[in-house]
A and B are shown apart, each in its own frame.
Chain A
Amino acid sequence: MPRLDIKKTYKLFIGGKFPRTESGRSYPINDEQGGVIANLCLASRKDFRNAVVAARKAQSGWAGMTAYNRGQILYRLAEMLEARHDAFAAEMQTLGLPKKQAKKEVDTSIDRLVYYAGWCDKYSAIFSSVNPTATAHFNFSVHEPTGVVAAILPEESPLLGLISTIAPIIAGGNSVIVLASQMKATSAVSFAEVIQNSDVPSGVVNVLTGDGQELLPQMASHLDVNALVIARSDVEMEKLLVASENVKRLIHWPSILTEQDPYKILDAQEVKTTWHPVQESASSGEGY
């Protein structure tokens, strides 16, 4: 008698744990024959709020790590994904992706993690400045993470979309809450297992599954979310007007699947400029 296989229960990933949605709701995703692949959590606004709390709690610790350390942790994610290469490719094939394409998507995802891992301790050297003021001050400008970032991912390429979006955000010391591809979210939840197993601190990456129409207004309006990344091209910006109410940064990455560059890291950064007098205060003609 053939062995009955064990199906995975796909849940949310919040604060390093895998809770079900507090709403108790689910939605099915199907294979090409119409069979049910999984019942995914239909995350609620409350789930999003919980994720923001976890992300806020984790952010300063993550930003406080050395850039070298963050780089190694991102690289470690690549190592772990490489080791699970075939499993991820197979999982994507159940969603209808041809074998070759599934394999390529995992390849690209791994390489993208390596790419951003390498940027962690370099972007600030390239894009910071020491500013030659006309007064006797030491003056420099550096990038700092904007804080908690929410992101809605592309519908296609569920793994590459997730990684291309979160890698530049977390490389720069932010924490992130993503709403995964709605109908292909299995890859994203499985990658959350990789994250949980890695040295990425709990709460730095949070993964929700569900309906963008339902959650996007909440993502745009939440007062403790500093930036919202729209990593797809089909979102009507009119729906995001509420983001203006707390001057939330809106970042549009319509073609994130094919792009990688350090400017994605900078998109979720703030420039901080620091001044200090150079002369002794007593001998300074002006300044204090």
Chain B
Amino acid sequence: MTKDWNLSAAPESTSHVQLQQEYGLFIGGKWIKPSDGKYFETSNPATEKKLASIALAGRKDVDSAFKSADKAFESWSKLSGAERGKYIFRIARIIQEKSREFAVIESMDGGKPIRESRDIDIPLAAAHFFYYAGWADKLEYVFPGRKVRPMGVAAQIIPWNFPLLMAAWKIAPALACGNTVVLKPAETTSLTALKLAEVIDEAGLPPGVVNIITGDGSTGALMTAHPTPNKLAFTGSTEVGKQIYKAAIQGGKKVTLELGGKAANIIFDDAPIDAAVEGIINGIYFNQGHVCCAGSRLFVQETVYAEVLAKLKRRMDSLIVGDPMDKNTDIGAINSKEQLKTIEHYLKLGSEEGADIYQPAGELPKKGYWCKPTLFTNVAQSNRIAQEEIFGPVLAIQTFRTIDEVIEKANNTPYGLSAGVWTDKGSKVFQLTKALKAGVVWANTYNKFDPTSPFGGFKESGFGREGGMHGLEAYLAFD
């Protein structure tokens, strides 16, 4: 679709990036080869070219990672909060210094537009470490009347949609609270987590405080069933989240889950329509729609439906799908072949269920995994594209007449992660933000994130918060 706009390509250079051919496991401050000798490939979803070989951690490796985390806990948990904080500040600073390398690798490995990894993922990851670094010596102010202490070893499993940022969300508060961690990035996006291991090494953290092991679902299952961690933290699908919750109950472990979503984005007829249309676009097409809080269900008040739809289509026609490394690109590559299959399955299903599909004209690159920005109209509340998380650039549009009607429709989902409201009327903003059953509600904005702002869901979107003062509770024990 780039050709329609006739923009010259503006690719980010990859010359600054240093990648190894093969990555081991970061355990006890050392790079270790996997004990079974197994590796898997990570590739660039925009070119399908191999980037590196990644170690597949097996039972022995998981054991040794937890052993080293457990050993490191003894001294790390006794370190003063101020000293712990200084280590975490160092991590934040080094990420900032290496931000360009991180951004380029993130886009190469995950397919997201360089503009997003450069302006959102990497700065927010650094900011998250910086924010929690400052909490390390202030924890006693957060929980009045209670004495806090570190919990122990945390097992953390993160998804592929915001690889470095999710690693920061998990590691930063855990360390600030005096815990040690074993973290596993997602199978398709290990590289920035491994670069983060290099940063942690450079920052001089004591060996074993942060262990980063790579692998697939089998490695994750070994981690959650392991007796050592007394805390499990997971971000990912609701389906896997439920299994992890079960393992946590069985093992008597504390757990936090940040799972799927099917957010309602609601436009009233008194909303600033142009701004709202931008918000809808950002809400669903940001990061190819690989966002758990994506505004994937759009509710438009009937009186402005025609106007909103026309403007939305016009804006979609202008979105540039293509090379993630190009600074003009709005929508990059779908993260993996598997995910593309899932999305295409839903595109087919949506049409079969009777909804009308719209996609802009234009051609997609021949190599790599791509999906055009898509919207469905004539969607029924019972359609699966309106009920299930697609995790792709696919918007399901429904209409409404009254406030009560839209509140009921918006809340009619097992999920409760996020929601959006667009109206110029203040009292309506507050009526809606109060009534919507979701952990994050954006009013006249969407998809904003900040380390100071707690994030997490209601209902089957999980529990526990990440970010802000409220994100500390998940990593502390109370006497």
Contact = CB atoms under 8 A, between A and B. Distances in A.
Q: Do A and B come from the same complex?
A: yes
B272 interface: yes
A250 B443 CA distance: 31
Q: Which has the most chain B C-beta neighbours within 10 Å: A135, A237, A274, A277?
A: A274
Interface in B404-452: 414, 429, 433-434, 438-446, 448, 450, 452
B144 interface: yes
A273 B259 contact: no
Contacts of A39: none
Contacts of B272: 281
B275 interface: yes
A261 B145 contact: yes
Contact of B450 (A131, A238, A249): A131
Contacts of A272: 433, 438-441, 458
Interface string A135-169: 10101010010100000000000000000000000
B450 A243 contact: no
Contacts of B454: 129, 131, 141, 271, 273
Interface stretch (B53-61, B246-254, B330-338): B246-254
Contacts of B279: 288
Contacts of B460: 246-247
A247 B241 contact: yes
A261 B479 CA distance: 13
Which among A141, A246, A277 has the greatest number of chain B C-beta atoms within 10 A? A141
A281 B459 contact: no
B245 A135 contact: no
Nearest to B252: A237
A139 B275 contact: no
Nearest to B144: A126
B468 A141 contact: yes
A280 to B, nearest CB: 10
B152 to A, nearest CB: 18
A238 B250 contact: yes
Contacts of A249: 463
Contacts of A271: 439, 454, 456, 465, 470
Contacts of B80: none
A68 interface: no
Contact of B448 (A238, A244, A262, A287): A287
A1 interface: no
B462 to A, nearest CB: 6
B445 A275 contact: yes
A226 interface: yes
A135 B450 contact: yes
B452 A288 contact: no
Contact of B446 (A139, A246, A288): A288
A133 B453 contact: yes
Given A272-B439, A273-B441, A275-B442, A244 B462 contact: no
A126 B468 CA distance: 15
A9 B282 CA distance: 62
A135 B469 CA distance: 18
Contacts of B144: 126
A141 B453 contact: yes
Contacts of B442: 274-275
B278 interface: yes
Nearest to A281: B275
Contact of B470 (A129, A226, A244): A129
B249 A134 contact: no
B456 A274 contact: no
Given A132-B452, A247-B257, A288-B275, A237 B249 contact: yes
Given A247-B459, A273-B455, A129 B445 contact: no
A90 interface: no
A175 B245 CA distance: 25
Contact of A270 (B276, B439, B444): B439
B155 to A, nearest CB: 17
B444 A281 contact: yes
Contacts of B461: 247
Contacts of B238: 247
B341 interface: no
Contacts of A273: 439-441, 453-455, 468
Interface in A257-288: 261-263, 270-277, 281, 287-288
Q: Which of B276, B463, B465 has most chain A Cβ within 10 Å? A: B463
Contacts of A247: 238, 241-242, 245, 257, 259, 459-463
Nearest to B461: A247
A244 B246 contact: yes
B239 to A, nearest CB: 11
A165 to B, nearest CB: 19
Contacts of B278: 288
A32 B182 CA distance: 56
Contacts of A241: 246, 249-250
B444 A288 contact: yes
B441 A274 contact: yes
A38 interface: no
A275 B441 contact: yes
Contact of B443 (A146, A245, A270, A274): A274
Contacts of B127: 134
A67 to B, nearest CB: 14
Contacts of B429: 276
Contact of A275 (B243, B250, B259, B440): B440
A240 interface: yes
Contacts of A240: 249
A129 B141 CA distance: 13
Interface in B141-155: 143-146
Interface of A: 126, 129, 131-135, 137, 139, 141, 144, 146, 226, 237-238, 240-241, 243-247, 249-250, 261-263, 270-277, 281, 287-288
Given A272-B433, A273-B453, 4 more contacts: A131-B453, A139-B452, A246-B414, A276-B443
27 contacts: A126-B144, A133-B453, A134-B452, A137-B448, A139-B452, A237-B250, A238-B250, A241-B249, A243-B245, A243-B249, A244-B246, A245-B242, A246-B460, A247-B461, A270-B439, A271-B454, A272-B439, A272-B441, A275-B440, A275-B453, A276-B429, A276-B444, A281-B275, A281-B444, A288-B276, A288-B282, A288-B444
State the 10 A-B residue pairs at the shortest beta-carbon distance, nearest first.
Answer: A244-B245, A133-B450, A131-B452, A244-B246, A288-B275, A276-B443, A247-B460, A288-B279, A281-B275, A131-B453
